[in-house]
Structures are given as structure tokens and as C-alpha cells.
Amino acid sequence: MIDAGVQSGLRLYRVWDPVQRIFHWLNVVCVMALVAVGTAILWGAELGVSPDGKVLLKTVHVWVGYVFATNLAVRLAWAFTGSPYGRWRALLPAGRGYLRSLREYTAGLATGHAPRYLGHNPLGRIMVTLLLLLMTVQGISGLVLAGTDIYYPPLGAWVAEWVAAPGVDPATLVPGDKTFVDAAAWAEMRAFREPFIETHEIVYFVVLAAIALHVIGVVVGELREGGGLVSAMFTGRKVLDAPPVDQP
């Protein structure tokens, strides 16, 4: 949709709806917090974090993770029912004509005359899809670890029942304390947990790299194309100097 008013060849277009904008900035806050706390957990020994301190860090990490996962779930659902530029067909790097549009966009970007897009440009669609995939994997693995680390939902009660020693009420188990756990069951649980923690740690580093690429892409796009990419995530509006090729 085009807002009224034309100045120096620029036009104001409405593109990002409130759900997408809220998701984006809430996700930024959550990811920053999760990275900060996750880094302290990962290098807890080097930072001198005590066992109780590590449990506290994991508890904070899990609670922020719940907000992150809920926000992500809403965004994934919105891709089925939301506004045009927030749906899967505008996000995924696929569909009829996508490869052609990718070639045209990259060629135009190299010459400084890239086609203008209201939604995500062809390169942006690759990055958004990658980020959503990484965040989904990180969210799922994190929910599993919440149960195996500190007995939190959704798997915490099941894990506690699994590892509790005979005659011990699973609800009385304390994170970080193996006094009342069955040693054999604990070893089995840790073996079950291993691929999830490995995935979580690997994706942690991949997410950091993807975030860096995303920021670089936004900066390059802002400098080469304009459009107010950052401000558009606050206002929902882009300012373009040429008609967008993805306008309905």
C-alpha cells in the first residue's frame, strides 16, 4: 500500500505489520540476552561461576528461552495467516521466478542498480529462512535441555521421574544435586541429552555468524538501496526511490 505524498521521487509504502515488528524487536532482545547468559554458562569454569551460580544462569536462560520460543512460534504461525509480506511465499527462497529474481537482484546490486523490494529481497529471503531455521533448532534443543538440566517443562517432570532413585519423589530433585538420583538412570539421561547439547552449542556459534551476516546485509542494503530498512521495523513503512518489483 502506498501512503499519500511524493517528495524528490521518493514514495512511502506500508509493508511490515505490527506482529512482524513486535516479533523482530522482541526477538532481538531475547537473542541478545540468551547469547549473553549462554556465553556465561558455556565458559562458566573460566569465568569462575560457582555450581549454584551456574544453576541460576541456566534458570534465567530457560525463562528467557520460553519468551523466545513463544515469540518464534507466533511468528511461524503468522507466516500462514498474516499480511502478504509476512507469509511463507514472501519469506522462503523458492517459488516460481525466484532464481531469476535472485540473479537480477545480485547483478543489480553489483552495479548499484538493484531492483527495489517492499518485502525481503531475494538475498534477504535466504537469510531470513536461515535465521528462522536456526532459531527453531535452537528453540527445540533448548526446551529439551531445560528438562535435562534443571527439570523444567516441557520434559522436566519426565526426566525427573527417569533419574530419581527408587523411593525418591521426583518433584524433590534439586538441579545440580545428584544425591537422590539413580546413577545408572542419570548416565542414560546424559547420553540422551548429549546430541541436544552438542547441537545447541554448534548452532550457538552458527547463529552468531548468521547475525553478523544479517547486520552486514542490512548495512549494505541501507547504503546501496536506501529504503529505511531499520526504521521500517519501527514504523512499518519503507521509503523507496523506485517502484518495488514485488508490489501487488
Q: What percent of the chain has pLDDT over 70?
A: 96
Q: Which residue has the cell 513486535?
A: 22
Q: Are 173 and 163 in contact (CB under 8 A)?
A: yes
Q: What's the confidence (pLDDT) of residue 153?
A: 97
Mean pLDDT for 216-244 is 86
Indicate the pTM of the whole model.
0.91
Mean pLDDT for 103-125 is 89
Mean pLDDT for 164-178 is 95
Q: What's the confidence (pLDDT) of residue 225?
A: 74
Q: Which tens digits make up the pLDDT trace of 31-46? A: 999 999 999 999 999 9
Q: What's the confidence (pLDDT) of residue 6?
A: 44
Query: Listing from the earlier edge strand, what are the strands of the sheet with 2-7?
Result: 2-7, 10-14, 237-240
Q: Please report, for the chain, the start and end positions of each structural domain, with discontinuous segments joined by +.
A: 49-114+121-225
Mean pLDDT for 219-241 is 85
Q: What is the mean pLDDT of the chain?
A: 92
Q: What percent of the chain has pLDDT over 90?
A: 79
In the predicted model, is pLDDT for residue 8 greater than 80?
no
Amino acid at 104: E
Q: What's the confidence (pLDDT) of residue 93?
A: 95
Q: Which tens digits make up the pLDDT trace of 238-247? A: 988 888 998 8
Q: What's the confidence (pLDDT) of residue 220?
A: 84
Cis peptide before 122 (omega within 30 of 0): no
Mean pLDDT for 54-59 is 96
Confidence grade of residue 5 (pLDDT, cut at 50, 70, 90): very low
In the predicted model, is pLDDT for residue 1 greater than 80?
no
Confidence grade of residue 228 (pLDDT, cut at 50, 70, 90): confident
Residue 7 neighbours by CB distance under 10 Å: 8
Q: What's the confidence (pLDDT) of residue 10?
A: 81
Residues in Cβ contact with 80 at an 8 Å cutoff, skipping those fewer than 6 apart = 87, 88
